[in-house]
Structure 1
């Protein structure tokens, strides 16, 4: 395309008309060029995409072929109907390699995902060089004044590590942009507490971007108080992932480390896809993979007093849940310490403890959603 003329004269004369016509013809020519390129791309261009760029079911062609190659390599079609082939098939790891035992394959996959998450943890901390103190933006660590706007100002634009001093910060909810770490001085030293006026549907800590493109969000070293008994104990959970204390919704690469979640109206920690309501479109149907959370690590956290589950996952994959303590639910129903729920895939649990819940660990799906 010819470079458009921009140095227009002040007067609308012959030169002005010439430049306008020149620009119009250039744009028209470039428009036709784009149409021709699109037609060529759709009909005759070869090798336009690599296999990773082509969607296939819930993944892409490259990863699916690699996985199937690993399965086929040791797949022996049998006739005795005792399930030997399926057992052999289950030994194929995420990267398509074959392990001798199923337990070896699970440990192998666990290490792959864990190492991937640890690498990302280091990457996020090294990438975010700008550290700010939320108090400098008007936050009140005495808990008397609402600090919601101060958190918004401190984290605006992302690419920032927002730090909190010892004390209590009263908020109606904190939404973290991409490339953001929020930290305190430690559990039961720094508190983020939902204000009494907070509506039932609000979430104490969650991601700002709800398009499925949220990424690199981490929280560490503080206590989140959902203040579930506020407003004369009249509040009820609003359903879906609303009313939770901590939520990763459609986040790629995130972590919660050394966080204590107290008195959540719903869940202490919820890893889900980019949506407030949950997905109930029938068994065998999944959400678009782009909306899922991936590579999330919940480590050395504590959940207590939650109204539903301490830690729960929905329609997300490659999650590592380690060294956590979920105890003494107060919801009175199907309260589980850890629940791996609808549409969760490749979720690894290690060295967790649960106590005084309806169930310690529950792995399931609702009848109207995918396992």
Structure 2
């Protein structure tokens, strides 16, 4: 597996370090006042160096890491790097030094990164800095690690693994100079203007044991903020998410692309907890949904297991978006196994579905899904029909307990739906299946029990 290659290169990074220095030896002072930008430049010069940062708050206008460099603090909340009050609106707090030529073998760990959004004062939208404005960006980095780092209040992203330039030439095209072989581990983030962790046009990314919560949404117009906890975005491939969590975001995990870019593909999620996100898990290729749209060439291959969605809710981040545990739009070849969704029985879901398979999604398997207490939802699982219908759907070995009024709704025109070993405990007057007369549905082992 490619992860073994990444681990071997970490050994190469460690063995290649020629000197270890302390940032204070270059005049840096962690007093929260002194500008330490020049000290970091001098300490990192030439690379092949481990720079130790003691406890304190170190002010900088931005740090650029050369190849073969390690930046190590004393822990989250103990070592703090903070952008200078006069830093530009588009400043990155930490990034690699060569976006065009690229860098390799870079490590950042054990610290807090404060983008200092307060310096912008009354500016409402923080995305005018383009796709910069993040706490940490790796662009065109091969073999990189970020470990045990907290990021707070960035204008855009907490952590961005990206290409040097984006490519919006259309579906099927990818940007050049993407990052490859990156491990993000034990990260925390909050107050982000757009996304907590995001990836663009990059390959072989491992994101583990991280928690993103409470975005500001300030990179977007108020009420239209697509601020996700973890986003696998345009052109990303071979991304693995393991044992992460999100809370109070628009999307907990969003796998997607914009309409004029290739979709993320071959993504795997192994264990994720979503709490009070609007759309706990959102898989979509924007602009490839309607029957008049071109079918996505690249939105495919998602595998997810051990997912938990706790009480998805409406959100002021995106005022017109209804809550969902799972949405699949435009993606093909999606397998979800072991999914627990728990709703609030008193919360008004306004008759919306909990799981929505829609907009030309194909070849979807939901297995071992458990749903509970979405009493004021319209249906637990809705398979949308019509001209932009989903199709080729399997729902296997799943159960729902005192949840929506209808367990499964199948829309018109679906050519193949298999529902097997479906169990439902319904409130009075509930329905297990609501089938369009034009749908082709194979059902067997469907068991229903009315609650008293």
TM-score by length of 2: 0.55
Q: Greater shift after overlay, 228-237 or 201-210? A: 228-237
Report how far residue 263 of structure 1 moved.
Answer: 0.7
Describe the SS at the equivalent of 2:117.
Answer: coil
Q: Secondary structure at 1:196's aligned position in 2?
A: coil
Q: Which residue is 1:339 aligned to? A: 231
Taking the aligned partners of 1:309 and 1:239, their CA distance within structure 2 comes to 15
Q: Relative to 1, partners in 2 of residues 1:212 and 1:352: Cα closer, same or farther, differing over 3 Å?
A: farther
Deviations 1:157-177 (A, max 9, x none): 111111100000001110011
CA offset digits 1:59-113 (Å, max 9, x no partner) = xxxxxxxxxxxxxxxxxxxxxxxxxxxxxxxxxxxxxxxxxxxxxxxxxxxxx12
Q: Deviations for 1:135-154, whole angstroms, at most 9, x for unmatched residues?
A: 11111111211101110010
Aligned mate of 2:208, from 322, 336, 342: 322
Counterpart-to-counterpart distance in 1, 2:167 and 2:81: 29
* Cα distance in 1, alignment partners of residues 109 and 18 from structure 2: 16
Distance in 1 separating the partners of 2:185 and 2:120: 32
More strand by share: 2
| Mapping 1:150-229, distance limit 5 Å | 150-229=39-118
Question: Post-superposition shift, 1:239?
Answer: 5.0
1:348 is matched with which residue?
A: 240
**What secondary structure is seen at the aligned counterpart in 2 of 1:233?**
coil
Contact 2:167 2:173 in 1 (8 A): no
Q: In 1, are the aligned partners of 2:89 and 2:120 still within 8 Å (CA)? A: no
Say whether the 8 Å CA contact 1:318–1:345 is kept in structure 2.
yes
Distance (Å, rounded) in 2 between the aligned partners of 1:126 and 1:323: 26
Q: 5+ residue gaps in structure 2?
A: 219-224, 264-452
Q: Measure how far apart 1:213 and its partner are.
A: 2.6
Secondary structure of 1:118's counterpart equals helix
| SS of residue in 2 equivalent to 1:351 | strand
Structure 2 CA distance for aligned equivalents of residues 309 and 199 of structure 1: 20
Q: 1:340 to 1:240 in 2, by over 3 A?
A: farther
Q: Secondary structure of the residue that 2:13 maps to in structure 1?
A: helix
RMSD between superposed Cα atoms in Å: 1.2
User: Hey, what's the Cα distance between the residues in 2 that align with 1:342 and 1:231?
Assistant: 29
Aligned match of 1:92: none
Structure with greater helix percent: 1
Tell me the distance in 2 between the aligned counterparts of 1:164 and 1:330. 29
Runs of 4+ aligned structure 1 residues displaced above 6 Å come to none
Does 2:7 correspond to 1:115? no
Give, in whole Å, the separation in 2 of the partners of 1:367 and 1:239.
22
Assess if the C-alpha contact under 8 Å between 1:197 and 1:231 holds in 2: no
Match in the other structure for 1:127: 16
Contact 1:282 1:370 in 2 (8 A): yes
What's the CA shift for 1:240? Answer: 4.3
Instruction: Pick 1 or 2: higher relative contact order, CA cutoff 8 A, min separation 6.
Output: 1
TM-score, normalising length from structure 1?
0.67
Conserved in 2, the CA contact under 8 Å of 1:267 and 1:306? yes
Measured after TM superposition, the shift of residue 125 of structure 1 is 1.7
Q: Which whole-Å CA distance do the structure 1 matches of 2:72 and 2:47 have between them?
A: 14
1:237 equivalent in structure 2: 127
1:367 aligns with 2:256: no
1:7-86 → structure 2 map (5 Å cutoff): none
Work out which of the residue numbers 198, 208, 227 in structure 2 matches 1:312.
Answer: 198
- SS of the aligned residue for 2:67 comes to coil
Contact 2:89/2:129 (<8 A) preserved: no
Number of equivalences: 256
What residue number does 2:181 align with? 295
User: SS at 2:128's partner residue?
Assistant: coil
